[in-house]
Amino acid sequence: MKKAFELGFYVTFGAGIAFGISSFTILSELFKVASSFWLVVSICLAGFICMLLSSSIAELASMYPSSPGVRTYLKVALPPRTSLFLVYLYLIFMIMVAGIESYLFALVVRQLFPQLPALAVVITLLVCTVAVNLLGLELPRGVQMFTTTALILSVLFLGVAGAAPHLGNLHWGASVFSGHPLSQISDALGSAVYLFIGFEWVTMMGFSAKSYEHKIPISMPLAILTNIVAYCIFALALATRMPKESITVTAIPQLPYFVQIFGPRGAYVGLALSILAIVSCFNAGVMGGSRLIHALAREGNFPKSWGTISITTGAPIGGVLVLGVLATIASVIIVSFELEEVAAVVGSGIVCCVYAAFVWAVLRLRKTQPNARRTFRSPLPIWLHWILIVALPAAGVGALFGIKGKTIQVLATTIGLVVVSAVTVFWSTKYKSNEAAMRLQANVS
Amino acid sequence: MATTDVSAVHTSSLLASLQDFQNRFNNDTRVKKLIKGWNRFLKVDGTDTGEIYTLTIQDLAVTNIEAGCTLADDDEKVIALQASQEALVRIFTGKYNPAHALIDGALAVFSGERDKVKLEAIAMIIWGM
């Protein structure tokens, strides 16, 4: 029973972090570049790639169980500046997700309460989340499992119920092979990877060292598989019930879908699902970014104050406040310029590169530390690792060109973020050496 | 490259370092403020030597250090620390920041997220890291 609970927790944690409100936005994006058939193929392919990738991450996790994942894996395997650069890009991605998720939540809320300004909803959500985290309140494991299970079962049930009577609307026949299928897949694949991002955060949650031998390695593909099924069914449900133009015109296609099924009350269903997604994805996943900021500050890469801990609750208040401020700035920018699509696509591109770096880290560590303890070893052949190292960034680049008409905006944002990350690496390195010099001077005097 | 810093340590043994930690822990008033209502078992596991100790934290103090551990690893009251013996000695004598050890991959901590931060806060208070 205990073992089943443990595995269930890992699977729901991984699936829940990946399943946010922005997942529906990405589904809407995918409809812009692919037909329903190739969209489903792209989701399955992206999920399959993430499953392969999860075996590499499981190997890293078995070497460094319970460590702050992305930071440790890249730090031990890659040159210092390269690893820091990728970690900062990952952190920027998390901040952007906070902005996207809160903006989309505001859009859903405004469907019911149009008089509320979007920015006020966004800021209220962020302030509440930051306050909960500052107080050191942690979501119990059981609640985390419940919210994710409720979210995914609801999506599955509502998807099947909506799609089943209208499957004839799909028109899947020989015609699906016309219209450049390869081009559709290449445009959709990188964005589809976004749908699974976050599954790897489970590697920090292991109950014991033994968990990293089988349970965590198994839980990641199971979480991805769960989400593949949920996304595909919901995508098909959208395709059967709504014309393509109605899906792609909105960032929250789930709302018109529910309204079509339930009438005006459907908006409440949309809000309920959004709240479930916020609990499982936003709080556990995005605020996990505060722990990354805390770890980087404790390591000396950020100002010491960013690593402040509350003496009464033990909460990492420095990291939470910094993340809260940065997420608010990201939200304001996203709300003001309606950049949610651009941010999601750029984020997807970034994470594809970070994921490729994980696979590269596995190969480098096998070379540099061949005898290090590994309680799990990725069964993938070496050539497949190399294919992933090439294919993931390629999919990421493909995603950048996926939104027609916004390529300039996407590329400008990507270049801007790369520059910000590089400058932060330079600043961190300088800050770290200054701190070390000051400590040395203090010790001497 | 890995920056695990576990150079030669002059402290006698893991047990001695844990006893030193117990003294500092029990005599620090700021630590007591931090651990109000926080009763835990700290399982310290030297992965290379197989040496295991369990520290009982109860009523604002480390009340007991005993060899071995009879508690289940997935018990929510158990915080399990795993590292090489040398790294553990350095951590419990304040020579190796546990936050750095965790990031370096030299230390594994199995517990709730808040417990991890609390342990780090204790190290910050005791050794000013």
Residue of A nearest to B48 (CA): A373
Residue B73 domain-assigned? yes
Residue A111 has a pLDDT of: 87
Domain total of chain B: 1
Q: Are B117 and A315 in contact (CB under 8 A)?
A: yes
Distance (Å, rounded) from C-alpha A235 to C-alpha B109? 40
Residue B4 has a pLDDT of: 41
Alpha-carbon dihedral A371, A376, A378, A379, rounded to 10 degrees: 100
* A314 and chain B in contact, CB less than 8 A: yes
Residue A6 has a pLDDT of: 87
* B73: nearest CB among A79, A208, A299: A208
- Identify the CA nearest to A28 among candidates A285, A345, A286, A267: A345
- Answer whether A299 sits within 8 Å of B80, measured CB to CB: no
Give B33→chain A minimum CA distance, Å: 7
Residue B1 domain-assigned? no
Give B127→chain A minimum CA distance, Å: 14
pLDDT tens profile B81-104: 999 999 999 999 988 988 889 889
Distance (Å, rounded) from C-alpha A302 to C-alpha A307? 8
Nearest-Å Rg of the Cα atoms of chain A is 21
Alpha-carbon dihedral A36, A42, A48, A50, rounded to 10 degrees: -120
CATH code at A438? Answer: 1.20.1740.10
Residue A436 has a pLDDT of: 63
Distance (Å, rounded) from C-alpha B62 to C-alpha B53? 13
Residue A204 has a pLDDT of: 85
CATH code at B85? Answer: 3.30.1050.10
- Reported ipTM exceeds the 0.85 cut: no
Helix, strand, or coil (residue B24): helix
Residue B2 domain-assigned? no
Residue B47 domain-assigned? yes
Q: Please state, for a pLDDT cut of 90, what percent of chain B lies above it.
A: 43
Contact list, A314 vs chain B (CB under 8 Å): 34, 114-115, 117-118, 121
Residue A156 has a pLDDT of: 93
Residue of B nearest to A365 (CA): B1
In the 8-state DSSP scheme, what is residue A76?
H
Give A134→chain B minimum CA distance, Å: 12
Residue B10 has a pLDDT of: 44
Give B36→chain A minimum CA distance, Å: 8
Contact list, B110 vs chain A (CB under 8 Å): 65-66, 206-209
- Identify the CA nearest to A13 among candidates A143, A132, A142, A148: A148
Residue B2 has a pLDDT of: 41
Residue B9 has a pLDDT of: 47
In this predicted structure, the answer to whether residue B8 has a pLDDT above a threshold of 60 is no
Q: Are A114 and A381 in contact (CB under 8 A)?
A: no
Contact list, A79 vs chain B (CB under 8 Å): 1
* A72: nearest CB among B47, B80, B103: B103
pLDDT band at B116 (very low <50, low <70, confident <90, very high): confident
Residue B11 has a pLDDT of: 41
List the domain range (segments joined by +) for residue A259: 2-444
* B117: nearest CB among A6, A206, A316: A316
Helix, strand, or coil (residue A312): coil
Q: Could you tell me whether strands B78-83 and B61-67 are parallel, antiparallel, or unpaired per DSSP bridges?
A: unpaired
pLDDT tens profile B32-62: 888 888 899 999 999 888 899 999 999 999 9
Q: Are A222 and A234 in contact (CB under 8 A)?
A: no
Q: Per residue of chain A (445 residues), give pLDDT as tens.
A: 677 788 999 999 899 989 989 999 999 989 988 888 999 999 999 999 999 999 999 999 999 998 888 899 999 999 999 999 999 999 999 898 888 888 889 989 998 899 999 889 989 988 988 888 888 777 777 888 888 899 999 999 999 998 888 877 777 766 777 778 888 888 888 889 999 998 998 998 888 888 999 999 999 999 999 999 999 999 999 999 999 899 999 989 999 999 988 888 888 998 999 888 887 776 666 667 888 898 899 888 899 899 888 877 767 889 999 998 999 999 889 888 888 888 988 998 999 999 999 999 999 999 999 988 899 999 999 999 999 999 999 988 988 887 778 889 999 999 999 999 999 999 888 877 666 665 555 555 4
List the domain range (segments joined by +) for residue B91: 7-127
Q: What's the token pair of residue A350?
A: 């970034």
- Answer whether A314 sits within 8 Å of B114, measured CB to CB: yes
Residue of B nearest to A313 (CA): B34
Residue B26 has a pLDDT of: 93
Contact list, A6 vs chain B (CB under 8 Å): 74
Among A311, A364, A374, A439, the residue to mutate for chain B (most B Cβ within 10 A) = A311
Domain total of chain A: 1
